[in-house]
Amino acid sequence: MELRTTVGIETRKAAPSELAQRIISKTSKGYRGPAILMLEDGTVFYGRSCGASGTATGEVCFNTSLEGYFEVFTDPSYAGQIVTMTYPQVGNYGIDPADVQSAYPGGDARGANTPALRGVVVHDMCATPSNWRSAVSVPAYLEQNGVVAIEGVDTRALVRHLRDHGAQKGIISTEFFGLMELANMLEAAPSLVGQNLVRTVSCAAAHPYTAADLPEQHAFASAPAPEPARHRVVVYDCGIKRGILEGLVRAGCELTVVPWDTSAEEVLAERPDGVFLSNGPGDPDAVEETYSQVRKLIGRVPLFGICLGHQMISLACGAEIEKLKFGHRGGNQPVMNLISHRVEITAQNHGFGLVFPSLGALVPELSGGVTEHPADGDLRFWVERGVAPVVDNDRFGRIRLTHVNLNDGTAEGIQLLDQPAFCVQYHPEAAPGPTDAHYLFTAFCRLMDGDPDYLNIDIAKDRLAGWVFATDDTK
């Protein structure tokens, strides 16, 4: 490993000068000691501790959301990762525990609803939040939950480096500062590729989730009552977010949440109207126990998958999954819906993606007359033509590409035309993020109702469903 440091800090010690420490200690931030971040390629960033003391390793990635840091920190899909927030200040509105996204029920390794990520990197951490809902500051929360964090980092430089060189292993420490010592610890740390991290965030036993479980603290923004329950849905918990469960319940689903490795036979014994496949962390190829069961479920019951669930359906169809250079993580990812020809601004969190051509050969008469997949793999080819291409899959028949990422041309959604199943690579629950994709919950209900045109929805109108807006009673 070639050791190098970021420009301007070649001679800087881990701790700032005594004068700098005294100045910081007199501010509301306070001085919490030095910290260091080292990447797998030897790049080093120095900063200050703003969470728990200790040392943590994981894949360093970045999230471009402007808000919703608490929902990001508690998203189980970040298991095994060190998350860099690109927005310059984090923590200014504090934390309300009601917004926690981890649905983890608790176990020997972690308590209920605790964050699964390994570490946090920010430019500036606010220690004195101001918000009527805030119950605890971000530094205090991270310290209480044992999450190592570093501030004072030039996150612009770090993100540019990750974009140029790709997401990679990293180590954060408030204990060790010798570069060779850190390099050796980092080399011994496992890679994200090949790890089944789903098993670390899934529930251990089946349990219900109903309207009674909806948080009362969200009543100021959410409709007072969800749609009446009319669909029985089994949810595969691969690290599901609470916001997803809430979205399904509000759409009129009665949920039974089951562990990630539940057999198809057990699922079908519940006689569900549909099966939902959740988001989750890590390498999808390592979650064979889930996608092998999905293969048995396709054609037996309506299926809807998001994020990792999208990859589970794709793998069940025999597709190839690739590791993306730096992934998609944030609440501002543009996606073209090839069915409606509308752009959705979406919330995403994934580092792997479907290789659409691996699903099969194109059906020219259903693909605008095109006979070959674009040679460069850029699916914006179809966006430019306004075509939702269809391939002939040797397992499940015709499969349509429905959504494409406008930033890099990767696949964001598919629909099985001969089986009741569809999936997207992004999140429809807006926790955090926009509500453009809320229509997907409606589409799932329409699929369970037997509507063959279930994806034909006015997404602009549907995105407002379930939200409360202030009204002017004086008019």
User: 164-176: b or e for each residue (b if 16 or more CB lie within 10 Å)?
Assistant: eebbbbbbbbbee
Neighbours of 160 (CB within 10 A): 12
CA distances from 419 to 32, 292, 396, 400 (A): 56, 17, 7, 11
> Minimal CA–CA distance to 362: which of 375, 349, 343?
375
Instruction: Please identify which residue in the block is written with the tokens 């030095």.
Output: 34
439-448 helix and 242-250 helix, angle to the nearest 10 degrees = 60
- The tokens for 365 are 């008469």
Residues in the chain: 475
Choosing from 423, 427, 438, 445, which is the catalytic residue?
Answer: 427
Choosing from 71, 254, 344, 429, which is the catalytic residue?
Answer: 429
| Residue 146, SS3 per DSSP | coil
| Residue 111, SS3 per DSSP | coil
User: 127-158: b or e for each residue (b if 16 or more CB lie within 10 Å)?
Assistant: bebeeeebeebbbbbbbebebbbbbbbbbeeb
Is 161 marked active-site?
no
- The tokens for 276 are 């939902």
User: How many CA atoms, within 13 angstroms, populate the side-chain half-sphere of residue 237?
Assistant: 26
Is 429 marked active-site?
yes
Element (H, E) at 253: strand 253-259
> To the nearest 10°, the Cα dihedral for 335, 339, 340, 341?
60
Choosing from 307, 317, 423, 445, which is the catalytic residue?
Answer: 307
288-297 helix and 308-316 helix, angle to the nearest 10 degrees = 60
Is 288 marked active-site?
no
User: How many CA atoms, within 13 angstroms, populate the side-chain half-sphere of residue 207?
Assistant: 11
DSSP 218: G
| Residue 268, SS3 per DSSP | helix
- Residues serving a catalytic function are 307, 427, 429
